[in-house]
Structure formats: structure tokens, C-alpha cells
């Protein structure tokens, strides 16, 4: 059974965005994720009699499998539904039906409004497994991965190169609260949301870290401890793919850019489009920890489920 001192219960609304976690809850979750990873058998019955519904509007490999396995390995049961949410019947009806049957909803959606709507109408916790605005579960796994490699976030810098998207938003918010410096380089017009940047800067002021925005990838990555990138066109942006490839080409993480931070780790949330945002050489570099991140999706999400359901 899970030790009570490891638990810091999250509010009943669940995790609709990174902002649903306080700094102390974020730290507690990362500590619990490390313990779950170290001794998974100690937690194998903690969600006995609990059930989860996974709603997936977008295809998934890592998110679906790691959430399904997380619930199962904690002793719970899981059902997965693929397809549009709120199309065949109103979203509020979907949320209230699920609230009568399961203990938690995990939703991977196109729009943040869908996640927020589920949380509004549901009487059970809702977890954002990806939306157009946030990707909090990815950021939790990424912070766990960096903690494993760095030990401490103090005086460390994470550089993000590419689109100021949902992953960048979640990374920025988590880094700022944990005292990890965050730099981001994007093309003009693809900057992260100004409201999220302002919130992150408030967090960074409290933690002693810094948030730095640039349009120059070399400026962002020079001397960084980790360099992160993501696909240039996400699901739902297929019509922009050709234009984005032209605009983002100077932001490719290749050997030349990677050499500006000779000790830096390389990070990617996957799937990677090799030859676009990252070269094969960088992906296969000994400094690449992309698959450590993927592994830690399982452990970080177990910790999240325990904090939502086992306390």
C-alpha cells in the first residue's frame, strides 16, 4: 500500500492544466513518481476497485498505453473509447454518464474547452492527457526525467526550440515552479501564449529561476543543460505542414545546433519526425533521453492517479 507521507491529494477537479497543481503538490508528485518507479510492486493494489475511462479524440501510442498500464499495474480497471467527444451526444451528458460508472476520466482532446467542459460537468476527477493548450502529463514525466539526470534543478537550464505549443506551455509552467531556467526560441508569430508566459514569470520570480524568449535558436541553446524540441505541425495542423516546414527549418536540432551545448541532454516528447525538427544523429546520440521520458510517462502518471484516487 502507498505510504501516506508520500501522498499530497490533488483537488477533486483533477488535472485539467498544469495550474491545477501547486508547487508543493508538483514536488510531492515527482517524489512519489520516483518511489513508484523504484518499487512498483509496493503499489500494485492501491487502486483496487477503482476504474478509469480514457477518452481519446487523437491517436496515441505513449499516452494510451502508459495510462492503461498505469491503472492496471495499480490494481484498477480501465476502458478506452476512441472518437469525438460530445458529437454523438452532448458533452455534459457524456461527463455525467461516466461519473456514474467510473472513478476518473482521462481525456486526450483537440480543444482545452473539451477538457474544461468534462471537468465542469463531471463529479469525478478529469485528467488532461493532451489538449491544444497544455500537455501536463508529458511535462510531469519530463521533470521526473530531468530530476533523475540532474539531481537538482538549481542553476540548470532547459532550452526549447520550435513551436510555442502545448508542450512548451506545460514545460515552462513546471520549470518555473521548480527553479529550472527555461529558454524558448520560436519563429516570429509562433511564440508561446503571452498569458502563460506572464504566469510562468511570476512562478520564476518566486523560485529564483528565469524565463527567456528568443527568435534565435543558437541564443537559446548555447550553454543549456537540456535541449527540447517537438514536431513542427501537430495533429490537427496538417494543412499547415508544408508552410511550417519552410518556416521552422532553421530551428532543426542538428549536430551544429547541438554542439553549442556540448554537455546538454536532448529531449523530445515523441513521436519525432526525423529529418524535420531533429536529425537522426541527434535522436540516436548517447545524450538523447527521449526514451527515458517515454518510460517515465508510466511512473509519473501512476503517481498522479495515486494522488487523485488513493488518498
Model pLDDT for residues 194-216, shown as the tens digit of each residue: 999 999 999 999 999 999 999 99
- CATH of region 4-135+297-309: 3.40.50.1370
The rounded percent of the chain whose pLDDT value lies above 90 is 92
Q: Is 100 exposed, middle or buried (0-12, 13-18, 19+ CB in 10 A)?
A: exposed
Between the CA of residue 249 and those of 15, 224, 236, 255, what are the distances in Å? 34, 21, 20, 14
Whether 138-293 and 4-135+297-309 are alike in CATH topology: the answer is: yes
Contact criterion met (CB below 8 Å) for 170 and 19: no
* Active site residues per annotation: 108, 135, 138, 230, 269, 297
Instruction: Write down the architecture of domain 138-293 according to CATH.
Output: 3-Layer(aba) Sandwich (3.40)
pTM, rounded to two decimals: 0.95
Provide the residue ranges of all domains of the chain, joining segments of one domain with +: 4-135+297-309, 138-293
Convert the pLDDT of each residue in 260-303 to its tens digit.
999 999 999 999 999 999 999 999 999 999 999 999 999 999 99
HSE of 36 in the Cβ direction (CA atoms, 13 Å)? 32
Which residues of the chain, if any, have pLDDT below 70?
Answer: 1-13, 235-236, 311
Amino acid at each position: 500500500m502507498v505510504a501516506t507521507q508520500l501522498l499530497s491529494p490533488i483537488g477533486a477537479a483533477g488535472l485539467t492544466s498544469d495550474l491545477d497543481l501547486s508547487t508543493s503538490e508538483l514536488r510531492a508528485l515527482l517524489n512519489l513518481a520516483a518511489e513508484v518507479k523504484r518499487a512498483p510492486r509496493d503499489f500494485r493494489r492501491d487502486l483496487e476497485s477503482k476504474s478509469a475511462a480514457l477518452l481519446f479524440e487523437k491517436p496515441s501510442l505513449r499516452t494510451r498505453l502508459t495510462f492503461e498500464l498505469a491503472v492496471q499495474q495499480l490494481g484498477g480497471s480501465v476502458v478506452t473509447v476512441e472518437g469525438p467527444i460530445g458529437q454523438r451526444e452532448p458533452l455534459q451528458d457524456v461527463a455525467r454518464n461516466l461519473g456514474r460508472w467510473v472513478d476518473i476520466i482521462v481525456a486526450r482532446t483537440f480543444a482545452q474547452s473539451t477538457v474544461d467542459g468534462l471537468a465542469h460537468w463531471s463529479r469525478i476527477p478529469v485528467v488532461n492527457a493532451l489538449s491544444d493548450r497544455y500537455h501536463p502529463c508529458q511535462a510531469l514525466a519530463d521533470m521526473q526525467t530531468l530530476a533523475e539526470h540532474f539531481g537538482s534543478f538549481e542553476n540548470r537550464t532547459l532550452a526549447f526550440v520550435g513551436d510555442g505549443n502545448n508542450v512548451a506551455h506545460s514545460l515552462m509552467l513546471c520549470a518555473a515552479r521548480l527553479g529550472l531556467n527555461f529558454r524558448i526560441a520560436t519563429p516570429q508569430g509562433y511564440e508561446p501564449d503571452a498569458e502563460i508566459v506572464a504566469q510562468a514569470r511570476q512562478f520564476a520570480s518566486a523560485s529564483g529561476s528565469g524565463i527567456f524568449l528568443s527568435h534565435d535558436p543558437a541564443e537559446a541553446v548555447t550553454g543549456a543543460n537540456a535541449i527540447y524540441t517537438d514536431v513542427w505541425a501537430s495533429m490537427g495542423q496538417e494543412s499547415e505542414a508544408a508552410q511550417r516546414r519552410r518556416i521552422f527549418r532553421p530551428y532543426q536540432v542538428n549536430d551544429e545546433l547541438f554542439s553549442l551545448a556540448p554537455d546538454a541532454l536532448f529531449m523530445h516528447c515523441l513521436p519525432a519526425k526525423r529529418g524535420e525538427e531533429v536529425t537522426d544523429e541527434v535522436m540516436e546520440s548517447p545524450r538523447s533521453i527521449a526514451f527515458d521520458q517515454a518510460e517515465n510517462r508510466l511512473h509519473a502518471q501512476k503517481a498522479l492517479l495515486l494522488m487523485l484516487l488513493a488518498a
